[in-house]
Homo-oligomer: A and B are copies of this chain.
Amino acid sequence: MRESWLPEVLPLRQASRQVVRELGFLQNHFDGASAAQCHALLELEHHGTLTSGDLAELLSVDKSTASRTASELVRRGWARVTDGGQDRRRKPLVLSARGKRKLESIHRTASGQVDGALRLLGPEERARVLEGMQLYAKALGRSRAQSELEVRPIERRDDPEVARLIRTVMPEFGACGPGFAIMDPEVDAMHAAYTAPGSAYWVVTRRGRVVGGGGYARLEGAQRSVCELRKMYFLHELRGLGVGARLLSSCLEHAARDGYELCYLETLEGMTRARRLYERFGFERLERPMGATGHYGCDVWYARKLRAC
Contacts and interface: CB of A to CB of B under 8 A. Distances in A.
Nearest to A46: B14
Interface residues of A, number: 64
A10 B113 CA distance: 12
B60 A12 contact: no
A117 interface: yes
Contacts of A35: 26
Contacts of A134: 11, 15
The copy count of this chain in the complex is 2
Contact of A115 (B9, B18, B20): B9
A56 B212 CA distance: 47
15 contacts: A3-B112, A6-B118, A8-B118, A9-B115, A10-B111, A11-B134, A12-B130, A20-B20, A20-B25, A21-B59, A22-B140, A24-B60, A27-B61, A121-B139, A132-B132
| 9 closest A-B pairs by CB | A132-B132, A22-B140, A18-B137, A117-B143, A117-B139, A15-B133, A25-B25, A15-B137, A116-B143
Interface of A: 3, 5-6, 8-13, 15-27, 35-36, 39, 42, 58-62, 108, 110-121, 125-137, 139-144, 147
